[in-house]
């Protein structure tokens, strides 16, 4: 039995979907425990591209069970659209292979309205959210004003609760001068969605514990990344959930002592979408990657901000996630470069530091200390064995291991399933 948590070591978009998909082969159950459909996981399998937002990528496998855990915020309309799209691509989704926690909270149309209205009001302090209503849904949960998915199995109470929230939120919208959410239409759509989703809704914590007892292997598919974590990330430029490994436990009901391994996924360089400090940001790297047709968001299509590999961030991520291993993706993105830089430390107000400071303002004031490595100048995408990587690419990965204290166990050199090298 082995239960593994996958987390992002940077600001999300590290290629976790692909690594999860790769590791799913030896897994029975794939679990999402935090976030919502703000996530966008791209998986390419047998030449077909699948984009997943809420559904764990294990759904692409015939014999795996996927669980949306209690820590997730679930947009029922978004989920139904995602299910329809995947079914259109030939993927089978049933109440047997997709289970939704009855204590996960719903993301409702008024949450999206609030998300957009708040962002607009922030002006140049905007976070750059995905506009999926994630922050307001978590705020309602913590405020004890949320609606849990279990009510989708109790339509009368669901309707009552919905009407109550719509009345209150519309009153706020009226004050903000924001367009009101249509009550009757929303109630109708959500009640209809409830009918379709109800068979999937269950006590997933009990299911997961029974699966563990039966000797099944669990894989926790992280969403977003360490630096988008509400506690450990670059607050306030973060998402509203715990995206680090601890969140996998609270967001599923599987206790820490039942976790065997944590794998942190990071790109061979760094990217971020949305606002906030980014010490190693580099426009030339961004232009190069965008010209290669890479680094556009799977959820919003936004061009991602790009920069050099920041080992300060990865080292800290290894520490707070308790990562045993690193999976490094997109190594091939650096194929054309004469020289490659790694940030090994920061200087902040004249002092050298080896961890990210706790305020966004201080992080923005950090100056990167770089180490320059010779580029391998070779197309890596056709390589199928780690041993066949050019020595300079291996040296780059070795240096990352030294700087972070974690072993590199997987290397991604392209989007396809077979472009993952085992070390």
Closest CA to 97 of 129, 51, 69, 59: 59
The nearest distance, CB 65 to ligand IMP, in angstroms, is 23
> Which residues ranging from 186 to 225 are in contact with ligand IMP (CB under 6 A)?
223-224
Report the SS3 class of residue 10: coil
Closest CA to 324 of 389, 269, 397, 401: 401
* Closest residue by beta carbon to ligand IMP: 274
Among 20, 52, 60, 127, binds ligand IMP (CB under 6 A): 127
Contact 29, 320 (CB under 8 A): no
Among 61, 126, 128, 258, binds ligand IMP (CB under 6 A): 128
Which residues have a Cβ under 8 Å from the Cβ of 305 and sit 6 or more positions away?
Answer: 271, 272, 273, 278, 281, 286
Among 10, 97, 103, 129, binds ligand IMP (CB under 6 A): 129
The nearest distance, CB 316 to ligand IMP, in angstroms, is 18
Terminal C-alpha separation, the chain: 22
- Tell me if 273 contacts ligand IMP by CB under 6 A: yes
- Tell me if 383 contacts ligand IMP by CB under 6 A: no
- Our answer to whether residue 169 is catalytic in this structure is no
Q: What would the DSSP string read from start to end of 346-387?
A: EEETTEEESS--SSHHHHHH-EEEEEEEE---S--TT--SGG
Q: How far apart are CA 358 and CA 177, in angstroms?
A: 35
- Our answer to whether residue 13 is catalytic in this structure is yes
- Tell me if 13 contacts ligand IMP by CB under 6 A: yes
Among 19, 29, 39, 52, binds ligand IMP (CB under 6 A): 39
Among 15, 69, 135, 222, binds ligand IMP (CB under 6 A): 135
CB of 39 or CB of 263, closer to ligand IMP: 39
Contact characters 78-117, ligand IMP, x per CB under 6 A: ----------------------------------------
Question: Which residues of the shown chain bind ligand IMP in the complex (CB under 6 A)?
Answer: 11-13, 38-40, 127-130, 132, 134-135, 223-224, 228, 237, 239-240, 273-274
């Amino acid at each position: 039995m082995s239960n593994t948590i996958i987390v992002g070591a940077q600001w999300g978009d590290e290629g976790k979907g692909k690594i999860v998909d790769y590791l799913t082969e030896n897994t029975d159950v794939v679990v999402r425990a935090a976030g919502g459909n703000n996530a966008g996981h791209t998986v390419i399998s047998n030449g077909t591209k699948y984009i997943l937002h809420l559904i764990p990528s294990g759904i692409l496998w015939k014999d795996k069970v996927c669980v949306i855990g209690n820590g997730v915020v679930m947009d029922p309309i978004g989920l139904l659209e995602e299910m329809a799209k995947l079914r259109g691509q030939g993927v089978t989704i049933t109440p047997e292979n997709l289970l939704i926690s009855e204590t996960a909270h719903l993301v409702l149309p008024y949450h999206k309205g609030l998300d957009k209205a708040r962002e607009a009001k922030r002006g140049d302090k905007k976070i750059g959210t995905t506009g999926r209503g994630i922050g307001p849904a978590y705020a309602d949960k913590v405020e004890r004003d949320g609606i849990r998915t279990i009510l989708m199995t109790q339509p009368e109470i669901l309707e009552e609760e919905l009407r109550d929230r719509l009345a209150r939120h519309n009153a706020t919208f009226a004050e903000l001068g924001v367009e009101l959410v249509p009550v009757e239409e929303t109630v109708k759509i959500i009640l209809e969605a409830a009918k379709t989703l109800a068979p999937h809704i269950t006590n997933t914590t009990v299911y997961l514990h029974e699966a563990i007892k039966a000797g099944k292997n669990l894989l926790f598919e992280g969403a977003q990344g360490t630096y988008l974590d509400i506690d450990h990330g670059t607050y306030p430029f973060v998402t509203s959930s715990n995206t680090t490994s601890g969140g996998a436990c609270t967001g599923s009901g599987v206790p820490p002592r039942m976790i065997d391994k944590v794998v942190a996924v990071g790109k061979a360089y760094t990217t971020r979408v949305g606002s906030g400090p980014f010490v190693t940001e580099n426009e030339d790297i961004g232009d190069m990657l965008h010209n290669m047709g890479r680094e556009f968001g799977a959820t919003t299509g936004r061009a991602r901000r790009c920069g050099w590999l920041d080992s300060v961030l990865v080292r800290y991520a290894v520490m707070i996630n308790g990562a045993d291993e690193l999976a490094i993706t997109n190594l091939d993105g650096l194929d054309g470069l004469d020289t490659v830089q790694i940030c090994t430390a920061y200087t902040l107000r004249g002092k050298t530091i080896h961890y990210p400071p706790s305020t966004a303002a201080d992080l923005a004031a950090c100056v990167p200390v770089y180490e320059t490595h010779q580029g391998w100048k070779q197309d890596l995408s056709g390589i199928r064995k780690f041993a066949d990587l050019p020595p300079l690419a291996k040296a780059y990965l070795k240096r990352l291991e030294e700087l972070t204290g974690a072993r590199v166990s997987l290397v991604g050199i392209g989007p396809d399933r077979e472009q993952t090298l085992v070390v």
